[in-house]
Structure 1
Amino acid sequence: MKLAGLAMASPAAAARILDQAAAEAMEFTRQAEATSLGSGTLDHLDFAVTEFNRAYSLKPPKAVFDAVMDYRRKVAALLAGRHTHQQERELLTFAGWLSELLAWLAHDLGDARTGLAFATDAFVHGQQAGHGRLCAWAMDAAASINLYEQRPGKARNAALKGLSEAAVPHPLTVRLHAQAARAAAADGDADGFTTAFRAAEDAYGILPPRSPRRFGLDVLPLADYALTSYSATSFIWLGQAEQARQYAEQALATYESAPEASRSPSREAIARIDLALAHALLGDSDAAVALGHQALDSTRVVDSVRHRAGDLTAFLARRHPGREAVETLRERLVAVGAAARAVTAAPAHEPEEGVT
């Protein structure tokens, strides 16, 4: 109203009004730039998230979970503080990436409920940040967790939800189509599997020559793993043993030839179990038992590995009741599971301030 009266004000009064407006404009700018974040906070978070993702396959999941959870709480506190809109988007993104990693870690520790809760949290924070690819990665985790919980319909829905957010072309798109294919196989839908798997192959065929990176790591191997390992598992569930054997062998070769930074001991162990199940279906129980022991020799026998190893021992026990070699494998799996539960139940150490 003051400015509207400029035309009627004296020159001196008009000058005072404009001086006041200029001061208010500077205050508006100061408020827009006001923040309680330290100058290096966002750089530190970027480094932390990168290091946590690199540690994922190298360190025990319980230790990594505790450290990542500590950082997730810190980011929540930062979001509750004062920051610029641009900083808010970055904090939302970091919160989402930490929750996406916590979803996988909870899955590795055998807690599906917590894993799905963090996958949902990652998706929501990705949406708030306008980060569609983060949303898609979150649904990739949700699809896997639901599959291991024997909810193929929810797994497929998660994969499709991720595909609606994923960029094309991108290795993540391949993974999500392969997730949908694996969900169809788990549901006994051979035609649905074939359709989704062809979509995964088509998505793979249009990938650009230069592979994108995620926290400094090449993500193309994740598409390679999905096309081979997910297919092996799918053919097991569909009862097509020879196709399962071929894809499981391809998966193992892919895992073993991957750069050290991209190696995944737990996924490699699952590929060995798929190959073991294929041999068991084909009648070669000796090879199945040997591969089962190799899988349990892995440096990272997480819940998904133990779950699939349980499928193997149960099948072998039905096919060869009372056989000593099968019982020995089953007893070893029981011991491995007991040891893992003891570690998970152990009290956590106080989280460190830095990234280990």
Structure 2
Amino acid sequence: MARPRREPRTQLEHLIQQRDRTYEEMAAEFLRLEERATISARHLARMARGERAAAGATPATRRAFQAMFGMPLDDLLRPWDPNLATAAPANDGSLVVPSPGTERGIITMAAERARRFTLLAAESTTPEAVDQLRDDVQRLALAYPQRPLTELLGDLAETQDTLFALLERRQTPQQARQLHFLASVTSGLLAKASHDLADPHAAMLQARTAILCADQADHNGLRAWLRGLQSMVAYWAGRYAEAVRYAEMGTEYAHQGGGTTSVWLPVSAARAYAALGNRERALTAIRTAEDAWDSVEPDAVDELGGICTFSQPRTIYYAADALAWLPAEADNAVAFSTRAVTAYADRSDPAWAFGDEAGSHADLAIARVVSRDIEGAEDALTSVLELAPEQRINGVVHSVQRVHQAVTRAGLADDASDLIERIEDFTHTPLKALPR
């Protein structure tokens, strides 16, 4: 007598139970539906049991699930409801009839498949394809500072792969430069993503690939921007002298390019100098950054917007971050961090970034701890400690940990026990700890 099947835990498991095939056979089917959507039988089983979230799935994987089961992956991973009617899949492996309400997902899937066909099917890259890729990269650059990484990572990886696939073909010199430019920016975004996931090794690898592409594109503004990224990765990894070196390496390129990296690089160096305890060089670098705004002329990197351009609010935040390291600059630290918090108060501002807003609040908390204002520090940090795990990127976690360190250095641990407990709870679940 056959053993009765256990009650399914997800809609996906319910649909799989209706098919007379193993997980291994179904995993192999993914490759037929979408060549880039390979998935192991073990991974598929864990998703069916509700042990893996949909957030880390690539667009290709989502398309394959949509094609195989006739509904979006997010719907498939919802808890199974026996009262919810679901279309029975065919046992022969053919595609299911879509259930009502999934039409938008199918349209999105079809549009993405058409986009990929347009980009890769032609013998040579068309101007329209390059324009489409630029739009894709710009969309990601604009979204990156304002949306959780879990929503963007799949698109980033697929866009990079598409660009690399095109660059492996023969291109005209002009198209090759354009594609190398876009591949460089995308690799830079993935360097930032790796950093946000607390993987500095992968971040530097992506940055070096991006620099190789920038050299092929022969774009000084891009070279300078990437040195800024490397400086940022080194700074948050605690390699402050290295952060200064990368910032200085990009300075000549920034002067030639004329974009906002001519502000980013010196103020990045200021943070690292301050962390090294070099007050004079830190203050000089802050002044250099502020003066650089007088001669900025936005370049092609700045035109992408979002994370690819350095803004006035970020300048204030970086300066506050530098001053928070310097006990002798306590008053200036309060002033700059207060200005930074105000600058990021408007979430409708295109320059708004949740990570920089959080860093500004953390700097204000540090400045208030130095003034022995524990209540004010806790008030400044409250909104940061309420961030969802998806927004607890590496820089935010380190900023919060700096508040913890400031409290203990000031000998205020007993007075700030509640704040310390909240910080430790927050840092216990960073973005890097989430299942992907």
Shorter-chain TM-score range: 0.7 to 0.9
User: How far, CA to CA, are the matches of 2:295 and 2:277 in structure 1?
Assistant: 29
Residue 321 of structure 1 is matched in structure 2 by 413
User: How far, CA to CA, are the matches of 2:183 and 2:401 in structure 1?
Assistant: 35
1:230-288 deviation per Cα after TM superposition (whole angstroms, max 9, x unaligned): 11111111222211111101111222257532211110110000000000011001111
Is structure 2 residue 374 aligned with structure 1 residue 285? Answer: yes
The alpha-carbon distance between structure 1 residues 342 and 149, as it changes in their structure 2 partners (threshold 3 A), is closer
Aligned pair partner of 2:344 in 251, 255, 266: 255
Residue 62 of structure 1 is matched in structure 2 by 150
Q: Retained in 2: the 8 A contact 1:277–1:312?
A: yes
Q: Which has the larger radius of gyration?
A: 1
Q: Retained in 2: the 8 A contact 1:213–1:219?
A: no
Is structure 2 residue 163 aligned with structure 1 residue 163? Answer: no
The alpha-carbon distance between structure 1 residues 158 and 334, as it changes in their structure 2 partners (threshold 3 A), is closer
Q: How does 1:179-218 map to 2 (within 5 A)?
A: 179-207=268-296, 214-217=302-305
1:44-77 deviation per Cα after TM superposition (whole angstroms, max 9, x unaligned): 1111101111221233213312221121112111
Q: Which amino acid aligns with 1:309?
A: V
Q: Retained in 2: the 8 A contact 1:276–1:288?
A: yes
Residue 86 of structure 1 is matched in structure 2 by 174
User: How far, CA to CA, are the matches of 2:226 and 2:164 in structure 1?
Assistant: 18
User: How far, CA to CA, are the matches of 2:300 and 2:294 in structure 1?
Assistant: 15
* SS in structure 2 of the partner of residue 59 of structure 1: coil
User: How far, CA to CA, are the matches of 2:161 and 2:282 in structure 1?
Assistant: 40
User: How far, CA to CA, are the matches of 1:281 and 1:196 in structure 2?
Assistant: 23
Residue 402 of structure 2 is matched in structure 1 by 311
* SS in structure 1 of the partner of residue 350 of structure 2: helix
Identity of aligned residues (%): 25
- More deviation in 219-228 or 320-329? 219-228
Residue 98 of structure 1 is matched in structure 2 by 186
Q: Retained in 1: the 8 A contact 2:163–2:182?
A: yes
- More deviation in 163-172 or 103-112? 163-172
Q: Which amino acid aligns with 1:80?
A: E
**How far apart are residue 90 of structure 1 and its match?**
1.1
Residue 147 of structure 1 is matched in structure 2 by 235
Q: How does 1:289-304 map to 2 (within 5 A)?
A: 289-298=378-387, 300-304=391-395
- Structure 1 length normalisation: TM-score? 0.79
The alpha-carbon distance between structure 1 residues 193 and 321, as it changes in their structure 2 partners (threshold 3 A), is closer
Q: Retained in 2: the 8 A contact 1:35–1:84?
A: no
What is the Cα-based RMSD across aligned positions, in Å? 2.5
Residue 29 of structure 2 is matched in structure 1 by none
**How far apart are residue 215 of structure 1 and its match?**
4.4
* SS in structure 2 of the partner of residue 40 of structure 1: helix
* SS in structure 2 of the partner of residue 280 of structure 1: helix
Q: How does 1:12-161 map to 2 (within 5 A)?
A: 36-38=124-126, 40-161=128-249
Is structure 2 residue 335 aligned with structure 1 residue 242? Answer: no
- More deviation in 218-227 or 199-208? 218-227
Q: Which amino acid aligns with 1:320?
A: L
User: How far, CA to CA, are the matches of 2:152 and 2:307 in structure 1?
Assistant: 21
1:120-170 deviation per Cα after TM superposition (whole angstroms, max 9, x unaligned): 221221111111111111111111111111111111111112211124643
Is structure 2 residue 355 aligned with structure 1 residue 266? Answer: yes
The alpha-carbon distance between structure 1 residues 228 and 138, as it changes in their structure 2 partners (threshold 3 A), is same
User: How far, CA to CA, are the matches of 1:103 and 1:221 in structure 2?
Assistant: 16
User: How far, CA to CA, are the matches of 2:189 and 2:336 in structure 1?
Assistant: 28
* SS in structure 2 of the partner of residue 260 of structure 1: coil
* SS in structure 1 of the partner of residue 177 of structure 2: helix
**How far apart are residue 334 of structure 1 and its match?**
3.4
- When you count helix as a share of all residues, which structure comes out higher? 1
1:267-325 deviation per Cα after TM superposition (whole angstroms, max 9, x unaligned): 01100000000000110011112222222234633111011101112332452334431
- Structure 2 length normalisation: TM-score? 0.66
Aligned residues between the structures: 309
User: How far, CA to CA, are the matches of 1:211 and 1:40 in structure 2?
Assistant: 22
Q: Retained in 2: the 8 A contact 1:96–1:122?
A: yes
User: How far, CA to CA, are the matches of 2:308 and 2:143 in structure 1?
Assistant: 19
Residue 25 of structure 1 is matched in structure 2 by none
User: How far, CA to CA, are the matches of 2:246 and 2:376 in structure 1?
Assistant: 35
Q: Retained in 1: the 8 A contact 2:385–2:426?
A: yes
User: How far, CA to CA, are the matches of 1:326 and 1:64 in structure 2?
Assistant: 32
User: How far, CA to CA, are the matches of 1:64 and 1:329 in structure 2?
Assistant: 29
User: How far, CA to CA, are the matches of 1:117 and 1:297 in structure 2?
Assistant: 32
**How far apart are residue 212 of structure 1 and its match?**
8.2
* SS in structure 1 of the partner of residue 253 of structure 2: coil
1:214-233 deviation per Cα after TM superposition (whole angstroms, max 9, x unaligned): 34537898341343111111
Q: Which amino acid aligns with 1:183?
A: A
1:193-212 deviation per Cα after TM superposition (whole angstroms, max 9, x unaligned): 1222222122123346x898
User: How far, CA to CA, are the matches of 1:219 and 1:105 in structure 2?
Assistant: 12
Q: Retained in 2: the 8 A contact 1:280–1:316?
A: yes
User: How far, CA to CA, are the matches of 2:308 and 2:137 in structure 1?
Assistant: 20
Task: Structure 2: state its 5+ residue gaps.
Answer: 1-121
User: How far, CA to CA, are the matches of 1:60 and 1:263 in structure 2?
Assistant: 14
Task: Structure 1: state its 5+ residue gaps.
Answer: 1-33, 347-356
Q: Which amino acid aligns with 1:127?
A: D
User: How far, CA to CA, are the matches of 1:216 and 1:198 in structure 2?
Assistant: 27
